[in-house]
Structure 1
Amino acid sequence: MSSPPTPQTYPAGSQTATIAAGCFWGVEHIYRKTFANKGLIDAKVGYIGGDSKNPSYRSVCSGRTGHAEALQVIYDPEKVTYRQLLEFFYKMHDPTTANRQGPDVGSQYRSAIFYNNEEQEKIAHDVTSKVNKEWWKGKVATEVLPAGEWWDAEKYHQRYLDMNPSGYECPSHFVRKFPALSE
């Protein structure tokens, strides 16, 4: 079973970004690889956006809990901004398909940004609008929603691709090359 977030002590001033972009193994892996030594303090996979308490991987995969497989990024805003994390989010997965990433189908694989405060909400809408217009040509299906309750995924899911280098990684998780967004 999953569990409420494990209490952690993070440096003063650190912030949290919460995103869903399909199978959480690959999302965690690509964020850790890209933002290591560039502001990432921690990253963990879990479940958010549903209506059941203490969801398990099996129950989330059933599609009946409403939860998304998601990533919670703890970061240093002095080294990387929320906007940069979201722009990367839109480059590393396909945000144009509702409830699908590559061969993974179901509401648990939806594209979503779960904001944690009003400033994040504003930035999420701004970035989403710009990438929809400039990069994805009006096809973005990403939801922008309040964060709500987070559930840590089971321990064996954390850093899964580090522990299982030949494990499954969604083929839609790769960094696309786009020009810089307009100001």
Structure 2
Amino acid sequence: MSETATFAAGCFWGVEHIFNKHFLKDGIITRVGYMGGQLENPSYKQVKTGTTDHAEVCEIKFDPSKVSYETLVEFFYSMHDPTTLNFQGPDVGTQYRSVIFYHSPEQKSIAEKVTQEVLEKHYKKEGIATQIVPAQQYYDGEEYHQFYLEKNPEGYACPTHYLRW
């Protein structure tokens, strides 16, 4: 059985790279793309302007018997700064916002629970800016963006994507 999780945490290259680095052994399958905007079938060139309302996302197909959605949400929070609104490190704009796009009421409930736990444990002073919203139409990113950092190890490494705890 396969489920889908969709996260936005800044540059999608880094998000995909870090999830794969930690969960590939659990059989996850990732794709990067765009979600949350109004324009149908947006291109990277359009999304990077910040005018389409899309976020750069990593879509993850996973087997919940191997890795739980709760584990993925906890990991999502550990890999970026969820306290910032519309930016991660040098990447600025709504396309780089922190978002959990949930695909079911159960995912929404888990995301809200984990967010509250992370807030209490790590960000009580700063607060969390991460949005928790229903998944919308996912648009696949261009092929050259898929596994970008694996194909281009010297590429822009999205320096804010590291484990915070």
TM-based fold match above 0.5: yes
Query: Following the alignment from structure 2 to structure 1, what is the Cα–Cα distance between the partners of residues 27 and 135?
Result: 21
Q: How does 1:15-164 map to 2 (within 5 A)?
A: 15-40=3-28, 42-137=29-124, 138-164=126-152
Cα deviation 1:107-148 (Å, max 9, x = unaligned): 000000000010001111111111111112252100000001
Identity %: 55
C-alpha distance in 2 between matches for 1:169 and 1:127: 27
In 1, the alpha carbon distance for the partners of 2:105 and 2:27 equals 22
Q: Using the alignment, how far apart are the partners of 2:19 and 2:90 within structure 1?
A: 21
Equivalence for 1:4: none
Stretches of structure 2 lacking an aligned partner (at least 5 in a row): none
Q: How many aligned positions are there?
A: 164
Residue identity matched to 1:113:
I
Structure 1: distance between partners of 2:43 and 2:27: 30
Structure having the higher helix fraction is 2
Does the 8 Å CA contact 1:49/1:147 hold for their aligned counterparts? yes
Contact 1:39/1:77 (CA < 8 Å) preserved in 2? no
TM-score normalised to structure 2 length: 0.97
Secondary structure at the aligned position of 2:51 is classed as coil
User: Could you tell me which residue of structure 1 aligns to residue 164 of structure 2?
Assistant: 176
Moved over 2 A (4+): none
Partner Cα separation in structure 2 for residue 83 and residue 93 of structure 1 = 17
How far did residue 38 of structure 1 move?
2.1
Q: CA RMSD in A?
A: 0.8
Structure 2 counterpart of 1:67, one-letter code: H
Q: Flag structure 1 segments of 5+ consecutive residues without an equivalent.
A: 1-12, 178-183
